[in-house]
Amino acid sequence: MEEVMKQIVEFNKERDWDKFHTPENLAKCISIESAELLECFQWDAEKYNKEEVCEELADVFTYCIQMAMKLGVSPEEIVLKKLDKTKKKYPVEKSKGVSTKYNKL
């Protein structure tokens, strides 16, 4: 993750783009790129272009990483913290093999 973050910083610094990366703008970018990822499956969920999916997924990851950096938080730490919280909401004995929302388990 360190190398990815370093390269993102370098990429933006070379282009003087960091000034555009406010938390609000990054949140918008994440939403827009997520919609583009979903568009890959719009008409046929079985016949998608894996390369296009990976490119859109990379865009989503990149903006998420930039948001974490802008907020001064570790992407790894916040993901692990949220995963721990989610494990408690979805205990294996109640949630295994079902997609029911935690408040209806």
Distance CA 34, CA 50 (A): 15
What mean pLDDT do residues 23-48 have?
Answer: 96
Give the pLDDT score at 104. Answer: 83
What mean pLDDT do residues 33-58 have?
Answer: 96
What mean pLDDT do residues 83-105 have?
Answer: 90
Q: Which helix H or strand E contains 35, and what residues bound it?
A: helix 23-39
Find the range with the poorest average confidence among 8-17, 67-76, 89-98. 89-98
Please choose, from the candidates 30, 28, 83, the residue with its C-alpha nearest in 3D space to the C-alpha of residue 61.
30
Cα distance from N-terminal residue to C-terminal residue, the chain: 35
Distance CA 94, CA 87 (A): 11
Distance CA 105, CA 97 (A): 12
Question: Is a pLDDT exceeding 90 seen at residue 105?
Answer: no
